[in-house]
């Protein structure tokens, strides 16, 4: 299984001949190495309804006939747009062809901003636990620090965690480092930083806050094999 990071909160997983995209914010993401026209995902997983996470879901899913897996509100919204969707909520899990998806809580806000200056509520923000090929991957989405991260780690031993470090809108580096300790993940990759000036951070400084060998900085396009 190949897992790659592509700037902001974009994560791609390639497994068993299938491609999974998480929070595919590509156009407008100055850090990404991806191009919308070159992508053909089989599944798109969304943590919440902010524009910088929903991103290019509509175009990508229409082009590739991808299944969009997200909150019931996002499922309904994109179902109205003609996409294939599957809705799940916090605490729920489901087995898909590629593996198991479980949504967790995340402490954040949500809402999709339209071009005509409307904000559409798209359900609660969530984190995502994936169990694929016997490995567990945790994408925390946008969130602040919360103590139940310890429970998440105890219930689901995590091989790889993607944690936001940008501060201002999410956890900053110090809180994210504390979160890594609660989760007990074998490997922690920082996300959601440097895309905009207000979330500028040094990911290498964040890694130094973690026990030696736990943190790993991935440049856009770089991957990990699990």
What is the Cα–Cα distance from 195 to 179, expressed in whole angstroms?
A: 22
Per-residue pLDDT, averaged over 153-162, amounts to 98
User: Does residue 225 belong to any structural domain of this protein?
Assistant: no
CATH of the domain at 195: 3.60.15.10
Structural domain for 175, as ranges: 2-212
In total, how many domains does the chain have?
Answer: 1
- Name the phi and psi angles at 172, rounded to 5: -90, 180
Average pLDDT over residues 154-179: 98
Instruction: Tell me the per-residue pLDDT of 67-114, one tens digit each, with 9 for 90 and over.
Output: 999 999 999 999 999 999 999 999 999 999 999 999 999 999 999 999
- The residues, ordered by sequence, that sit 6+ positions from 181 with a Cβ below 8 Å of its Cβ are none
220 domain residue, yes or no: no
Q: Quick one: DSSP state of residue 198?
A: G
Contact by Cβ (8 Å): 222, 197: no
Cross-strand bridge partners of residue 161: 138, 188
Residue 5: how many other CB atoms lie within 10 Å? 25
Angle at alpha carbon of residue 96, lines to 93 and 101, rounded to 5°: 35
Tell me, yes or no, whether 92 lies in a domain.
yes
On whether residue 222 sits in a domain, the answer given is no
Q: Mean pLDDT in the chain?
A: 98
User: Whole-prediction pTM value?
Assistant: 0.98
pLDDT at 185: 98
What would the pLDDT profile of 176-191 be if each residue is shown by its tens digit? 999 999 999 999 999 9
* For residues 14-27, average pLDDT: 98
Matching residue, tokens 């993940």: 185
- Examine residue 226 and state whether it is found in any structural domain, yes or no: no
Name the pLDDT band for 204 (thresholds 50, 70, 90): very high
d(CA 206, CA 203): 5
Tokens describing residue 99:
């593996």
pLDDT of residue 62: 97
- Phi/psi for 198 (5° steps) reads -70, -15
Q: Is residue 218 part of a domain?
A: no
Is 146 a member of any domain?
yes
């Amino acid at each position: 299984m190949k897992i790659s990071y592509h700037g902001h909160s974009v994560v791609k997983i390639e497994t068993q001949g299938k491609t999974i995209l998480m929070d595919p914010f590509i156009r407008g993401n100055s850090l990404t190495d991806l191009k919308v026209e070159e992508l053909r995902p089989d599944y798109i997983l969304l943590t919440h309804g902010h524009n910088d996470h929903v991103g290019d879901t509509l175009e990508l899913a229409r082009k590739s006939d991808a299944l969009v897996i997200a909150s019931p509100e996002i499922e309904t919204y994109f179902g109205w747009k003609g996409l294939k969707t599957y809705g799940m909520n916090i605490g729920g899990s489901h087995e898909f062809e590629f593996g198991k998806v479980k949504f967790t809580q995340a402490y954040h806000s949500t809402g999709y901003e339209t071009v005509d200056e409307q904000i559409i509520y798209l359900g609660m923000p969530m984190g995502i636990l994936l169990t694929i090929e016997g490995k567990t991957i945790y994408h925390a989405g946008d969130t602040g620090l919360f103590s139940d991260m310890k429970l998440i780690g105890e219930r689901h031993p995590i091989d790889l965690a993607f944690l936001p470090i940008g501060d201002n809108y999410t956890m900053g580096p110090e809180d994210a480092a504390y979160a890594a300790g609660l989760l007990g993940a074998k490997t922690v990759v920082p996300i959601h930083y440097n895309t905009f000036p207000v979330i500028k951070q040094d990911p290498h400084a964040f890694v130094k806050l973690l026990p030696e060998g736990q943190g790993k900085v991935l440049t856009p396009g770089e991957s990990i094999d699990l």
